[in-house]
Amino acid sequence: MRYLTIALAKGRLGKIFDIFEHMGIDCAEMRDKDTRKLIFTNEEYKLKFILSKASDVPTYVEYGAADIGIVGKDTILEEGRKLFEVIDLDMAKCRMCVIGPESSAELLKHKELIRVATKYPNIAKDYFYNQKHQTVEIIKLHGSVELAPIVGLSEVIVDIVETGSTLKANGLQVLEEICPLSARMVVNQVSMKMEKERITKLITEVRAYLQSKKDA
């Protein structure tokens, strides 16, 4: 039997390991934040876990280097890769929002030509151009995006809000909500056919785990 490869986003996975541990897969080594290892093998279940940067998970899955991936809906939308999204894991829940100082609310309302800084240019483009029909200039940043409106790089940002504490600490607020987000399980389109039985079994087990959590 060949290994099924599961790509996980490095860093924010605490709850996701709970799912695999519930199935009897030991994740202690992967949970260790100090480990430099990127590949973990489980001989009993013939599973291989790879830890990649979140934004690369859809790439590994589309090309079949991983059969399955677990990744945020934000990354799925931004990367636009060809894959099957099979389960909403109802974990790592947050919102994609347009954020700015209160003064920027008027600029949005009147559809002014504003600058939008973001780590998610494709999501921002789709929202402003296709949904709001507002022409904007999108500026790609790689992190600490909240800085942009404070130092005058942009009028607003498009970013994730989880607890809202980053916004608050920087005197910004949610001006518009784009969509809710959560972690999803995705599957390579060929693997879904070739490994149908094993993948369907895994999906069923994950669904049962999620249901048992809901019922508890």
Rounded to a whole number of angstroms, the minimum distance from the CB of residue 11 to ligand PRP is 9
d(CA 199, CA 187): 8
Q: Cβ closer to ligand PRP: 72 or 206?
A: 72
Q: Would you say the C-alpha torsion 134, 139, 142, 148 has a positive or negative sign?
A: negative
Residue nearest to ligand PRP (CB): 143
By CB under 6 A, which span of 70-78, 109-117, 143-151, 173-181 interacts with ligand PRP?
143-151
> Least separation, in Å, of the C-beta of 142 and ligand PRP?
7
In whole angstroms, how close is the CB of 100 to ligand PRP at the nearest point?
14
Q: Determine if 102 is a binding residue for ligand PRP (CB under 6 A).
A: no
- Residue 161 binds ligand PRP (CB under 6 A): yes
Task: With contacts defined by CB under 6 A, name the span among 71-79, 103-111, 140-148, 199-207 that binds ligand PRP.
Answer: 140-148
- Contact window for ligand PRP (CB under 6 A) among 29-37, 62-70, 79-87, 160-168: 160-168
CB of 22 vs ligand PRP, minimal distance in Å = 26
| Interface pick for ligand PRP out of 143, 152, 197, 214 (rule CB under 6 A) | 143
Q: How far apart are CA 62 and CA 187, in angstroms?
A: 8
Per CB under 6 A, does 162 bind ligand PRP?
A: yes
Candidates 41-49, 156-164, 192-200, 206-214: pick the segment binding ligand PRP (CB under 6 A).
156-164
